[in-house]
Amino acid sequence: MLVSRKFSFEAAHYLPNYKGRCRDLHGHHWVVEIACSGEVNEKSGMVVDFAELKDFFIWVDRTFDHKLLNHFIENPTAENICKYIYGEFNLWCVVRQLQFEYIRIWETENSMAEMRGGE
């Protein structure tokens, strides 16, 4: 069974290795979706409590919200931010004996990067 949760944060970045408009400092309303899978616990009826997924977001929020992403990600493209969050979320899943499935991060309403389990 797969479960997921979406959340968002506000943050700025610039892309030093890019020659277009995004080279300069600018901000986004980032949307992140995380997903994991596992067996449904017979007693609770859940794979994982959605509140626990919300607790993971507390780490994301404290790390990213209203920050300049370049301070801790050298080239903070949507892809690299996705990889950064993967490092923490995969560990979070392992501790809870869950399977990491994917992370999606939207830089805009129409532009998204995704990292899937096994990649």
Check the CA dihedral 99-49-110-31 and report its sign. negative
- pTM confidence score: 0.91
- For 103: left if phi > 0, alpha if psi spans -120 to 50, otherwise beta; the answer is beta
Which one is catalytic: 13, 36, 101, 107? 107
**Among residues 22, 33, 79, 114, which one is catalytic?**
22
- Return the CATH fold of 2-116: Tetrahydropterin Synthase; Chain A (3.30.479)
The catalytically annotated residue of 26, 29, 66, 71 is 66
Residue 104 binned pLDDT confidence (cut-offs 50, 70, 90) = very high
Asked if residue 49 has pLDDT above 60, the reply is: yes
Active site residue 107: yes
